[in-house]
Structure 1
Amino acid sequence: MGSLRAILTVFTTTLLAATLVAATPSAAGPDARARASDAAAQNRSADTSDAVAPAQCDIDPPTPKRQFRAMWIASVHNIDWPSRTGLSVSQQQAEFRSWLDVAEENNFNAVIVQIRPTADAFWPSPHEPWSHWLTGTQGRDPGYDPLEFMVAEAHKRNIEFHAWFNPYRVATHTNVNNLAAGHPVRQNPDWAFAYNGQLYYNPGIPAVREFVQDAMMHAVQNYDVDGVHFDDYFYPYPASGQQIPDQDTYNQYGGGFSNIGDWRRNNVDLLVQEMNARIKQAKPHVKFGISPFGIWRNSSTDPAGSNTNGLQSYDAIYADSRRWVTEGWLDYINPQIYWEIGHSAADYAVLVPWWSDVVSGTDVQLYVGQAAYKVGDGGAWNDATELSDHLHLNRNHPEVRGDVYFSAKDVDTDRLGSISRLTADHYRRPALIPDMPQLGGSAPSAPSITDADRTGSGVSLTISGNASSYAVYRFNGDTTADPCDFDDASHLIGTVRASGSGATFTDSTADSQGYTYYVTALDRTQLESEPSARAVVQPGSGGSWSMTIDDADSGFTAGDSWGTSSWSSERHGDGYRYADPVAASDVAWFLADVPANGSYRVEVWYPSNSGYNSATPYIIATSGGNEVVRVDQRSGGGQWVDLGTFTLPAGERNVVGVSRWTSTSGYVVADAVRITRV
């Protein structure tokens, strides 16, 4: 798609010239990084609706019980998924599972996936063609149902799936003839207009508004989505020297409105209001949320606005996002507050309190859109703690119920270690999705734990109940929990989606000590039951244990002949060690504290290069003596490589080594080792 930075720069320059002074933030959507580099101008510390009042309990702020944690997975321009057009079915599916891995690794509990980016579909829609972003050709069947697959995979991990629709964007070009044969716009060319290099459905035509709702509702009615999500694209963002070509539409349908701006806002309001009503009629438990531009209006224009000086979405794109909240047309609002704390025109520390005031007293929940894509872009964004500081600030505003990160690839890249820092500071424990009693659900009856056994992979719980999902709490030893123990996530170890009349859950983090488990049941609106009766698992063998040792850790030792490098992008962590082969051992050792005698899988990580050694000796210090496994480090790097399963003795000792003693040429490399009990 050409130079991304060039695309971003052109878009941003045009928009700034049209709407703002140079220091003022510009417009963007959750898929904004494909179009604008600075395009967009949390966390409840505890859930106050739980059975025990917060004043009675000592709540741990870093471990809130309920918090919406999500990332946008963008499909337009193949930003996140699929990574490019034309991948095979298995490749597309493997990529999506890898995004769910990223969500799990960071204790996220939801994904927001773009399934209708440009008036096309990621499911077999009777209304619009298959998406170009799947196969490279609009209308071409990808060979499976991506939406059905994605929802099922997310639910296997009890991750909520929010279906992200762009209501009005038709194409990222203006040539109607390039649309698939049979496309609604080819059949009804008067339904769309061209503006700033793109095609849009005309929001002012009532038949168009009804049609786009029908197209989106088909997915809601036929798939088990947990939420419907709109981004910030309704009327297009203003472009210098261009006017939206809808004067004739206004003349035809604008009766009763004294100006075209009020009429355009009403068109968007009708879409939001009607879509909300249709979702609730079809599936009351499905949530409806919108991610608007971060500024509604500036206080210099409107006393109800924020103390900012940026583009006003109310005036520029006709999005009255404040009204959507006050009218109760949404279940959550997810403003893109894509600026740093202290920004001169749009201060994060100003906008979070403003949006908190907007939702206060309503049933609409506030989730903050976070600009993970900006980390490393200079200024405050070169500080690895900027995003974490946002969430620290959110704790002062209990109206903030969660955060959403743009986008998945930026969460995964973890530039400057910012996501790792954020997770360590705020997401150490899992969290339940915030409940929404207004959707008409009811808390299930308390479930029961019918079986709790140690297995080779941990402790397995069999749960019986009548619920949509279950939450699992664990306590050390044989104990009886206090009600306050369930008021934050200090003891929450995970959740599981129901299957039939119950579920099974494996606690893979359990070791050989004894535990007490409790389980609660949740309905689709996340209302929670009372805890089950306790289940006690006595101390014993079994349970899962895993340890990773990197060359930068204190458990690694190597002689002076081992050099240090960070050259290869396939490295684990910040660097790796290398040395020339010699006719002497000179082992680089990885030390581990093995918890018990038993069988352990040993995996190694190394960067590969054609100049590295084809027979690098890895030494495993087993119970029966040293065993050597030779690895061809010329290929297969940048991932965990399984050396096999070995019997290891308990205790802290050098377990895996990389030797220099090999007759083959090329550097031997020592990077990281992972040891897992099996």
Structure 2
Amino acid sequence: MLKLLASATILIVLFYSCSKKPLESFQKEVEIPEFKAVNIKTSIPKSEFRGAWVATIANIDWPSQKGLNSETQKKEFQDIVKHHKKRGINALLVQVRAASDAFYAKSKEPWSEWLMGEQGKGPQPFYDPLEFMIEEAHQEGLEFHAWLNLNRGKHRLAGSVMPNHLIYTKPEWFISYGDYELYNFGLPEVRSYIIDVVMNIVREYDVDGIHFDDYFYPYKVTGLELEDHAAFAKYPNGFRSIEDWRRNNIDLVIKGISDAIKREKSWVSFGISPFGVWRNKSDDPLGSETRGGQPSYDLLFADTRKWAMEGWIDYIAPQIYFPFEHNLVPYGTLTDWWTKNHGKAKLYIGHGVYRVEANSSTKAWKDPNQIPRQLDYNRYSSGVDGSIFYNTNTFIKNNLGLADSIATRYKYPALVPEVNGVAKAIVQAPKRLLLTDIKEGLKLTWANETPKGFKNVVYRFKEGQELNAGDPEHILAITLSSEYVDKTRRSNTAYIYMITAVNRWNKESEPIFIRH
């Protein structure tokens, strides 16, 4: 949060107009309205996580099919970025590890079959998809969170698996469950391996976040038992209950990853999107007034509330893929519960936009206002700091005008909320702000004394307006660039422009001003 300046007298630069040349300038102390950085109550917040999941498994979102050449893959991803940018999205959560495979080059695991159609086969001609996707997202001012599936060694939809894949070279690491091969989290070497996979990405790639979804221990299948009793007998870790032991196994993975990320790159967020129901109140006084069928705690052995309360994760994004009218898990009831139980973690809500369609068998999902109502509910619920939408393909299809409705609620750009434990160091403000009158508009340029990856926020106020950086209506752009062309200014209107820098923890600097 920017600090309130003590004085209303600010050193600014005044300019006289001339065409297509830097405007002549001199410095003078002048009185301008007091600058404020207080968030004001608006229907559109200045700081809000606006994420979209991009699923790669089974080619759900990207690439559109197996075996596309590299240029087509790149073009498809660029189109995804541009579409989401246009709709106001400020973060992409891209699945880069779907089943002990990789959509990135710097990996010990094989290339995913959903890239080129054959596990182990890299893109042709060669490029590193993860490097490319990060760069494309960042160029448009979007954060990039690497989404990894935690538990799968082999997916039920997978084709052939390479002979040197872990399910063959380390078969003792896996449990067969239905059509899946799943990691046995009770083995210390498995937990260490998963942490190493995550940290390889953190070290090698410029990601803004690491993200897991709701797959820990598997969703219960009637008639099937998890065959991990041998691991429990060998490594009980002081537990008598296998259920508590399983929960502790996942705790060890989550805490291990959290600690490792903060040691390596403390600005990288660690977030998890679990099944929406932690526990039902009928089973636990701390639970929600819901009747969810497979609560995370009881059947997935994931104590998601604990991770949030303890601050092991930076954000939690429960998948509340239910309408307000649901008789077992109403949207409002579960959202209200999470606002009181997200602890030290930021709270973002996962929305199931894929369920919105005119032919839905559920009346509530035929309502084009169901998701917009949920967004409005979030904004007026204390503690909700954003939303994430599943999935990208549905979002782009704009069923029932949903993407357009979301875009109206994302009318102004928004900063991503600060990372927990943000560095206390002062963020250096931009310097040497200049204006140039060019054919396309009024060009602002400035100098940054900040490392790579910092963003800049460009504000514009009309002469006489309160200079309040807490009002997102005045944000023209959030950009990595050190220049911006204002193409919408009116020639007969006097403006004050303001630029701030935003560091990797999403902490904003003091501003620099210029009057035109």
Q: Normalising by the residue count of structure 2, what TM-score does the alignment of the two structures yield?
A: 0.88
Structure 2: runs of 5+ lacking an equivalent: 6-35
- Distance (whole Å) between structure 1 residues aligned to residue 57 and residue 107 of structure 2: 21
Find the structure with the greater CA-based Rg.
Answer: 1
Do the aligned residues in 1 keep the contact of 2:39 with 2:46 (CA within 8 Å)?
no
Partners of 2:173 and 2:238 lie apart in 1 by: 22
Distance 2:440 2:268 in 1: 35
The aligned residue for residue 350 of structure 1 is 333
448-457 or 410-419, which deviates more: 448-457
- Name the residue aligned to 2:504: 524
The equivalent position to 2:315 in structure 1, one of 325, 332, 335, is 332
Quick one: distance in 1 between partners of 2:157 and 2:229?
Answer: 19
| Contact 2:280/2:287, CA 8 A, preserved across alignment | yes
Please tell me the residue identity of whatever aligns with 2:456: Y
What is the rounded CA distance, in whole Å, between the counterparts of 2:410 and 2:182 in structure 1? 39
Identity across aligned pairs (percent)? 38
CA gap of 1:91–1:247, structure 2 versus 1, over 3 A, is same
SS at structure 2 position matched to 1:261: helix
SS, match of residue 513 in structure 2: coil
The 5 Å alignment of 1:409-424 reads: 409-424=393-408
Query: What is the aligned partner in structure 2 of residue 373 from structure 1?
Result: 354
**Counterpart amino acid of 2:499?**
V
Aligned residue in 2 for 1:11: none
Post-superposition Cα deviations, 1:549-575, rounded to whole Å, max 9, x if no partner, equal xxxxxxxxxxxxxxxxxxxxxxxxxxx
Alpha-carbon spacing, 1:56–1:132, altered in 2? closer, same or farther (3 Å)? closer
Q: CA deviation at 1:326?
A: 1.3
How big is each residue's C-alpha offset from its partner over 1:106-152, in whole Å with a ceiling of 9 and x where there is no partner?
11111000001111111123421111111111111112100010111
User: Compared with structure 1, are the counterparts of its residues 134 and 303 closer, same or farther at alpha carbon in structure 2 (3 Å cutoff)?
Assistant: same
**Equivalent pair of 1:449/1:461 in contact (CA under 8 Å):** no
Give the equivalent residue in structure 2 for 1:127: 108
Quick one: which of 289, 293, 298 aligns to 2:275? 293
Contact 1:447 / 1:463 at 8 angstroms: preserved in 2?
yes
User: How far apart are 1:382 and its partner, in Å?
Assistant: 0.9
- The equivalent of 1:77 in structure 2 is 58
Match of 2:31 in 1: none
Contact 1:441 1:524 in 2 (8 A): no
CA contact (8 A) 1:384 1:416 kept: yes
Q: Among 212, 223, 245, which residue is 1:263 paired with?
A: 245
Contact 1:61 1:395 in 2 (8 A): no
Specify whether residues 254 and 129 from structure 1 end up closer, same or farther in structure 2 by C-alpha distance, changes over 3 A only. Answer: same
Encode CA deviations 1:596-616: one digit per residue, 9 max, x unaligned.
xxxxxxxxxxxxxxxxxxxxx
Q: Do the aligned partners of residues 169 and 259 (structure 1) sit closer, same or farther apart at CA in structure 2, a change above 3 Å counting?
A: same
- Deviation of 1:248 after TM superposition, in Å, equals 1.3
**1: distance between equivalents of 2:424 and 2:208?**
14
SS in 1 for 2:407: helix
Deviations 1:47-96, CA, capped at 9 Å, x for gaps: xx55469x996834222110000100000010001111101100000000
Shift in Å at residue 385 of structure 1?
A: 0.8
Structure 1: give runs of 5+ residues left out of the alignment: 1-48, 537-678
> Are the counterparts in 2 of residues 441 and 527 from structure 1 also a CA contact under 8 Å?
no
Partner Cα separation in structure 1 for residue 163 and residue 61 of structure 2: 27
Q: For 1:638-649, what aligned pairs fall within 5 Å after superposition?
A: none
Offset at 1:243? 0.7
CA contact (8 A) 2:53 2:392 kept: yes
Aligned partner of 2:201 in structure 1 is 219
Mapped contact 1:84–1:133 kept (Cα < 8 A): yes
When normalised by structure 1's length, the TM-score is 0.68
SS in 1 for 2:74: helix
| Counterpart position of 2:223 | 241
- Select 2:475's aligned residue among 482, 492, 513: 492
The alpha-carbon distance between structure 1 residues 411 and 350, as it changes in their structure 2 partners (threshold 3 A), is same
| Counterparts in 2 of 1:57 and 1:523: CA distance versus 1, 3 Å | closer
Q: Please say if 1:444 is aligned against 2:427.
A: yes
1:554-569 correspondence runs (5 A): none
Equivalent position amino acid for 1:489 in 2:
P
Measure the CA separation in 1 of the matches of 2:209 and 2:38. 32
Residue 509 of structure 1, CA deviation: 4.1
SS at 1:358's partner residue? coil
Residue aligning to 2:148: 165
User: Which amino acid letter does the alignment assign opposite residue 324 of structure 2?
Assistant: I
Distance 1:508 1:202 in 2: 57
- The alpha-carbon distance between structure 1 residues 465 and 136, as it changes in their structure 2 partners (threshold 3 A), is same
CA distance in 2, matches of 1:352, 1:431: 22
Q: With a CA cutoff of 8 Å and minimum separation of 6, indicate the structure with the bigger relative contact order.
A: 2
Q: 1:231 Cα deviation (Å)?
A: 0.6
Equivalence for 1:507:
486
User: 1:515-545 deviations in whole A, cap 9, x for unaligned?
Assistant: 4311111111111111112242xxxxxxxxx
Correspondences of 1:585-664 after superposition (within 5 Å) = none
Task: Give runs of aligned pairs for residues 173-184 of structure 1, distance below 5 A.
Answer: 173=156, 178-184=160-166
* Structure 1 Cα separation of the partners of residues 46 and 353 of structure 2: 24
What secondary structure does 1:113 align onto?
A: strand
**Which structure 2 residues correspond to residues 16-27 of structure 1 after superposition, within 5 A?**
none
- Checking the alignment, whether the CA contact within 8 Å between 1:443 and 1:523 is kept in structure 2 is no
* Residues in 2 aligned to 1:243 and 1:370: alpha-carbon distance in whole angstroms: 31
| Structure 1 residues 508 and 140: CA distance shift in structure 2, 3 A | farther
Is the deviation greater in 148-157 or in 377-386? 377-386
- Following the alignment from structure 1 to structure 2, what is the Cα–Cα distance between the partners of residues 231 and 103? 21
Mapped partners of 1:228, 1:318: distance in 2: 21
- Report the AA paired with residue 471 of structure 1: V
What secondary structure does 1:490 align onto?
Answer: helix
Q: CA deviation at 1:451?
A: 2.4
- Hey, what does 2:10 align to over in structure 1? none
Instruction: Report SS of the residue matched to 2:485.
Output: strand
1:508 to partner: Cα distance:
4.3
Task: Report matched runs for 1:337-486 at 5 Å.
Answer: 337-359=320-342, 362-376=343-357, 377=360, 378-424=362-408, 426-436=409-419, 438-448=421-431, 450-467=433-450, 468-476=454-462, 479=463, 482-483=466-467, 485-486=468-469
Q: Which residue of 1 aligns with 2:135?
A: 152
Shift of 1:249: 1.4
Q: Would the aligned equivalents of 2:99 and 2:153 in 1 still touch at CA under 8 Å? A: yes
Correspondences of 1:28-107 after superposition (within 5 Å):
49=1, 51=3, 59-107=40-88
Shift of 1:459: 3.1
Task: From the superposition, tell whether residues 333 and 58 of structure 1 become closer, same or farther in structure 2 (CA, over 3 Å).
Answer: closer
How far apart are residue 254 of structure 1 and its match? Answer: 1.8
Question: How many corresponding residue pairs?
Answer: 476
SS in 1 for 2:479: strand
Distance in 2, matches of 1:246 and 1:457, equals: 66
The 1:174–1:349 alpha-carbon spacing in structure 2 relative to 1, beyond 3 Å, is closer
Seen in structure 2, the aligned counterparts of structure 1 residues 129 and 337 have a Cα distance that, compared at 3 Å, is same
Aligned-pair CA distance for 1:441 = 5.0
Query: Which range is displaced more, 265-274 or 396-405?
Result: 396-405
Rounded to whole Å, the distance in 1 between the matches of 2:129 and 2:496 is: 40
Contact 1:453 1:460 in 2 (8 A): yes
Q: How far does residue 199 in structure 1 lie from its aligned partner after superposition? A: 1.4
What do the CA deviations read for 1:305-339 (whole angstroms, capped 9, x no partner)? Answer: 00000121101110100000111101000110110
Contact 1:449–1:519 (CA<8 Å) still a contact in 2?
no
CA contact (8 A) 2:315 2:347 kept: yes
Counterpart contact for 1:156–1:497, Cα < 8 Å:
yes
Which secondary structure state, in structure 2, belongs to the residue aligned with residue 494 of structure 1?
strand
Structure 1 residue aligned with 2:189, among 204, 207, 213?
Answer: 207
CA displacement at 1:300 relative to structure 2: 0.7
Shift of 1:174: 9.1
Range with greater deviation from structure 2 (313-322 or 192-201): 192-201
